Amino acid sequence: MVIDALTVASEVEFRLAAAKIFDRQRLSELSGRSVILTKGSFDIVHAGHLALISYCSRLRNAHESGALVVIVESDASMRHRKGKARPIQDESLRALQIALQPMVDAVLTSDYADLGKLIQEIKLICYVKGMDTAVNTRNLANTPNLTLDLKRNPEMSLPHASCKIVVFTDNGEISTSALIEKIKTPTN
């Protein structure tokens, strides 16, 4: 029996994804779009990251001219915040992995310190934060309202008044740090 098969080089997908990786000069391409923005380090992409991106995609799809933009934290910024052992993967590879997600329209890399400037340049309608960086608690069972940690997240005070801020909550069990520890710990 002969089975017809199609071969496609991964380079084709990489090239298509690379076209979604923006620099600041390309931000004007988002003009007139209803931008949903999220950010993260995405050092080892896991189910929590994909759930966040999926949720953002649903928000984007609710707007006729929606665009999902993801900011990937730069290598230097990650080293400064998380220590010299991080990142595991460099920013260009992390950005490419996020750009390979079909629901993502644009990816930018940024230092944590420049995040506020980027948010002001991008006219967003919604900024979606992961719970791990937005609040000071992982226990949300008895928390009717969240208090956003503006000291850790000064960029949250920058979006214009009509921009909605959403904190994407999870159970706190899935994280890159937990995955790294699991990899380091020998199993019996």
CB-CB contact of 165 with 96 (8 Å): no
pTM: 0.85
Identify the structural domains of the chain with CATH numbers, from first to last: 19-184 (3.40.50.620)
Question: pLDDT tens track of the chain, all 188 residues?
Answer: 777 777 667 888 999 999 999 998 999 999 999 999 999 999 999 999 999 999 999 999 999 999 999 999 999 999 998 899 999 999 999 999 999 999 999 999 998 878 888 888 888 899 998 876 655 554 555 555 666 666 766 666 666 667 888 888 877 778 888 888 888 888 76
| Six token digits for residue 177 | 């740090």
CB-CB contact of 125 with 36 (8 Å): yes
Q: What is the DSSP letter of 88?
A: S
Between CA 185 and CA 51 the distance in angstroms is 26
Residue 33 is predicted with a pLDDT of 94
Between CA 159 and CA 105 the distance in angstroms is 20
The DSSP line for 34-48 is EEEEEEE--SS--HH
What is the separation of C-alpha 149 from the centre of its chain, rounded to a whole number of angstroms? 18
